[in-house]
Amino acid sequence: SDLLPSARKDFFQAVLQGKDGLVGNILSVFECLAECKDEAGRTPLMVASRGGRLQVVEHLLSTVAGRSVVTAVDSDGRSALSLALNKSHWHVCKVLIENGAPKLAVSDLLPSARKDFFQAVLQGKDGLVGNILSVFECLAECKDEAGRTPLMVASRGGRLQVVEHLLSTVAGRSVVTAVDSDGRSALSLALNKSHWHVCKVLIENGAPKLAVSDLLPSA
């Protein structure tokens, strides 16, 4: 009953602009603001998630009120997680799932998610790969236009950390023996580029050792 209209306005403005310090100060007086909604039916957590404001998201989730609305939806039926996903804020998605947001189904997979994932794998962005996998582990099993899995792409590029990250998932390990459209496995692709460190890790995780007939002149 002591809540001023200006406090609500200031709070949503601070959340939108990512002013974590101000968000914390206002919450210390009115923690209940973490549960309120704007005209679109969005909680502060939804607004921060949509804007990719990671520190604000973490601050809100550190409160009882903030955690209580992690599964709430807005007037259009979208949760904080789906709003963050729609903007490809994978770091925010990861934190939301760690704090109780249910993982999304394959049917929720956006075309941009697949593209972002393969791009991150190709460029060796291990952190981003991990964030995306935390939302859609199934992406570790998908294939690109050449019939290559992310594990094959990472192995061919010598992206050791990404390879290890993929192999740490059930989905990633399930495709260690898969082959692309030309019949090449992750191991043979790594071998072709002389990525011996990657070859070693693949064999340690179930890739069958190659025969002498597979030996390249460079080896």
Q: Which of 3-17, 53-67, 137-151, 161-175 has the lowest mean pLDDT?
A: 3-17
Instruction: Find the mean pLDDT for residues 87-91.
Output: 92
- The three-class DSSP label of residue 185 is strand
Task: Please write the tens of the pLDDT for every residue from 25-73.
Answer: 999 888 889 999 999 999 999 999 999 999 999 999 999 888 999 999 9
73, β-bridge pairs:
79
2, pLDDT greater than 80 = no
Question: What pLDDT sits at residue 89?
Answer: 94
194, pLDDT greater than 80 = yes
Tokens for 161?
């950390």
For each of the domains in the chain, give its residue range(s) and CATH number, in order of start. 1-102 (1.25.40.20), 105-219 (1.25.40.20)
Calculate the alpha carbon distances from 48 to 51, 113, 168 in Å.
5, 20, 30
Give CA torsion, residues 95, 132, 137, 48, to 10 deg. 40
Calculate the alpha carbon distances from 118 to 86, 111, 112, 173 in Å.
17, 11, 10, 17
Q: Rounded to whole angstroms, how far apart are CA atoms 190 and 195? A: 5
Q: Is the pTM of this model over 0.85?
A: no
Asked if residues 151 and 166 have their Cβ atoms less than 8 Å apart, the reply is yes
Instruction: Find the mean pLDDT for residues 80-107.
Output: 89
Question: What pLDDT sits at residue 57?
Answer: 97
92 pLDDT tier (thresholds 50, 70, 90)? very high
6 pLDDT tier (thresholds 50, 70, 90)? confident
179, β-bridge pairs:
185
Please, what is the Cα angle at 53 between 47 and 56, to 5 degrees?
A: 85
Question: What pLDDT sits at residue 213?
Answer: 57
Instruction: Find the mean pLDDT for residues 4-13.
Output: 85
Instruction: Find the mean pLDDT for residues 90-98.
Output: 93
Question: What pLDDT sits at residue 18?
Answer: 96
113, pLDDT greater than 90 = no
Task: Tell me the one-letter amino acid at 192.
Answer: N
Q: Rounded to whole angstroms, how far apart are CA atoms 56 and 25? A: 12
